[in-house]
A and B are shown apart, each in its own frame.
Chain A
């Protein structure tokens, strides 16, 4: 059975887990060996399917199903690990790659075996330059130990893993934009279908999975689907790393079972909000979130893929930004809209123009130069964008402004005279 406690952030219990020797001493690479020597590739996929693991990057798509979609008529296959972590409020993959890198890399290797890829890439955001350097040395250590390269564990299976650095573009976290970027092109999303399982990297079938998703895999192979399903909820099994930030006393990453309540995360783990303020709103999917009104019903809602929508939000990558009573909502919306306007890749018109004009409107509202109808216009621009953008960036950019106009309308009518935030009044 697994050690008690952490499944993912095991480095918090085991010192020096980023050394190959220590990782192997704690059972590291036994799951890969088991998969490669004693399981057929399809069996590995079946176990992951049975575990109910869902993608931790935000979409929550069943991981085993994604692997099973790979087109076996077209070869070679590739695996790309999404380490582009760029959603404001998300900082979990970074901790995994710094603290427990081998479990992540073992997950990449098991995924690659399951889909019979012989080359896998880890696509890291450019700012993770130091992490990429460390991963390169971890990969070299694995090659030296025979855990990567030709004929793994005496089998016919061979695998190489390489890192690739992006260069500061949020859009490259979108899987098809990431593949374009990895091919040496502008990081702009592709029209889908075809999906990467058919037409991915270099036009070949490709699995793209988030770092946290892949880090679950070695433990699932080692201890089985039933063990994994003993954590979390029936439809959202397993542990999740919640990145807690914003107006909270103890921000940080918290590994908890899916289905833990917002109240537990914010008050038990995060020590509540500073200076006796109250929680006004919660953004549980980073800047891509709707603003959930933080009433008792919301605070007692389990954080899983099914329940969060019931209170008007999304779980997403579980980057929980806490907004307290000192924060001006129009100021906040101007921040998130400005982010998406900067990061829009420019390929599709609804997103390029929509984020641009939303940015104008939120700035006017904040500056006090808005016309009375500008708040409605902002809401309307968002509505016009909905369902028309090429990828999720544009679709998500409207969540915060639209939901906040619906739920915090009175603040917009008062906007010009309001302070920014408690901390930034200076």
Chain B
């Protein structure tokens, strides 16, 4: 089988910068940032990415895949273009986070953990995000990174989602194209 070089060809400088952060004989340390790099490319990490990252670092696909299973911020399945993750841990729950999550999902007609029918937004509860004094709050994850939204109301969140929907159509087309390249 030909060695895949999708990430290496698309992100040569980024990969070099990541490798430079660690001692030359400790390349394995670069596995987590490389997984983030692959994930930002199409919002999830596929098997080919795992293999390529393993090849870059000289470790097995299984070793790379085990990290994706262990750490909750990595995804090996495509989800919504955006992930809204609402903290429902104790301090947030004391400020109404459970009710916020339930109402938000209700208004969108989905259950926590599900994706809106148009594939735009996945909403799920998560563990503490270190913003306990500003609940209800959530983080928004997308290909562009991760942003905190604090002191939220359901209405705020719905208008944010409306804005994302408006912004998304063009971006979703290009994401599909990138996904095709990625599998090629």
One of B3-11, B115-123, B139-147, B156-164 at the interface: B139-147
CB atoms of B133 and A91 under 8 A apart: yes
Taking CB atoms, residues of chain B closer than 8 Å to A49 are: none
Once A130-B146, A245-B91 are accepted as A-B contacts, the answer to whether A184 and B21 lie under 8 Å apart by CB is no
A184-B57, A323-B94 are known contacts; what are 8 more A-B pairs with Cβ within 8 Å? Answer: A91-B131, A127-B73, A168-B126, A184-B28, A184-B31, A251-B95, A421-B94, A423-B93
CB proximity of A92 to chain B, nearest CB, Å: 9
CB atoms of A170 and B90 under 8 A apart: no
One of A56-64, A81-89, A107-115, A191-199 at the interface: A81-89
Once A127-B139, A168-B73, A169-B70 are accepted as A-B contacts, the answer to whether A251 and B132 lie under 8 Å apart by CB is yes
Jot down 20 A-B pairs with beta carbons below 8 A, ordered by A.
A86-B128, A89-B91, A130-B148, A162-B21, A167-B32, A167-B71, A169-B70, A169-B72, A170-B128, A183-B28, A186-B70, A187-B70, A202-B26, A246-B91, A319-B132, A323-B94, A339-B89, A345-B70, A421-B94, A424-B96
Q: Mark A156-186, 1 if CB is under 8 A from B, else 0.
A: 0000001011111110000000000111111
Taking CB atoms, residues of chain A closer than 8 Å to B132 are: 88-91, 243, 245-246, 251, 319, 321
Q: When chains A and B are docked, how far (Å) is the Cα of A236 from the Cα of B50?
A: 48
Is the C-beta of B13 less than 8 angstroms from some C-beta in chain A?
no
Taking CB atoms, residues of chain B closer than 8 Å to A323 are: 94
Once A89-B90, A287-B90, A335-B93 are accepted as A-B contacts, the answer to whether A424 and B128 lie under 8 Å apart by CB is no
CB atoms of B32 and A168 under 8 A apart: no
Taking CB atoms, residues of chain A closer than 8 Å to B93 are: 335, 421, 423-424
Taking CB atoms, residues of chain A closer than 8 Å to B130 are: 85-86, 90-91, 93-94, 125, 127-128
Q: When chains A and B are docked, how far (Å) is the Cα of A110 from the Cα of B168?
A: 47
Is the C-beta of B30 less than 8 angstroms from some C-beta in chain A?
yes
Taking CB atoms, residues of chain A closer than 8 Å to B91 are: 88-89, 245-246, 321
> Which of the listed residues A164, A166, A323 has the most CB atoms from chain B within 10 Å of its own CB?
A164
Interface residues of A (CB under 8 A from B): 85-91, 93-94, 119, 125-130, 133, 162, 164-170, 181-187, 202, 243-247, 251-253, 287, 319, 321, 323, 327, 332, 335-336, 339, 342-343, 345, 420-421, 423-424, 426
CB atoms of A88 and B90 under 8 A apart: yes
Taking CB atoms, residues of chain A closer than 8 Å to B131 are: 91, 94
CB proximity of B44 to chain A, nearest CB, Å: 14
Q: When chains A and B are docked, how far (Å) is the Cα of A323 from the Cα of B35?
A: 40
Which of B23, B71, B90 meets A168, CB within 8 Å? B71
Interface size on B, residues (CB 8 A): 45
CB proximity of B55 to chain A, nearest CB, Å: 15
Is the C-beta of B66 less than 8 angstroms from some C-beta in chain A?
yes
CB proximity of A131 to chain B, nearest CB, Å: 10
CB proximity of B62 to chain A, nearest CB, Å: 12
CB proximity of B56 to chain A, nearest CB, Å: 12
Is the C-beta of B33 less than 8 angstroms from some C-beta in chain A?
yes
Q: When chains A and B are docked, how far (Å) is the Cα of A87 from the Cα of B91?
A: 11
Q: Mark B73-104, 1 if CB is under 8 A from A, else 0.
A: 11000000000000001110111101100100
CB proximity of A26 to chain B, nearest CB, Å: 26
CB atoms of B99 and A166 under 8 A apart: no
Residues 15-55 of B at the A interface (beta carbon under 8 Å):
21-23, 26, 28-33, 35-36
> Which of the listed residues B28, B129, B133, B148 has the most CB atoms from chain A within 10 Å of its own CB?
B133
Taking CB atoms, residues of chain B closer than 8 Å to A181 are: 32
CB proximity of A107 to chain B, nearest CB, Å: 20
Once A89-B91, A130-B146, A168-B73 are accepted as A-B contacts, the answer to whether A342 and B33 lie under 8 Å apart by CB is no
Residue of A whose beta carbon sits closest to that of B33? A165
Which of B35, B67, B90, B128 meets A332, CB within 8 Å? B90
Residue of A whose beta carbon sits closest to that of B89? A88
Q: When chains A and B are docked, how far (Å) is the Cα of A407 from the Cα of B129?
A: 29
Q: When chains A and B are docked, how far (Å) is the Cα of A130 from the Cα of B150?
A: 15
CB atoms of B128 and A88 under 8 A apart: yes
Is the C-beta of B127 less than 8 angstroms from some C-beta in chain A?
yes
Which of A126, A183, A319, A426 meets B29, CB within 8 Å? A183
Which of B23, B29, B67, B90 meets A164, CB within 8 Å? B29
Residue of A whose beta carbon sits closest to that of B74? A167
Taking CB atoms, residues of chain B closer than 8 Å to A125 are: 130
> Which of the listed residues B33, B74, B90, B145 has the most CB atoms from chain A within 10 Å of its own CB?
B90
CB atoms of A126 and B71 under 8 A apart: yes
CB atoms of A423 and B99 under 8 A apart: yes
Identify the 3 closest CB pairs spanning chains A and B, nearest first: A167-B71, A251-B133, A168-B72
Once A167-B32, A335-B89, A423-B96 are accepted as A-B contacts, the answer to whether A126 and B73 lie under 8 Å apart by CB is yes
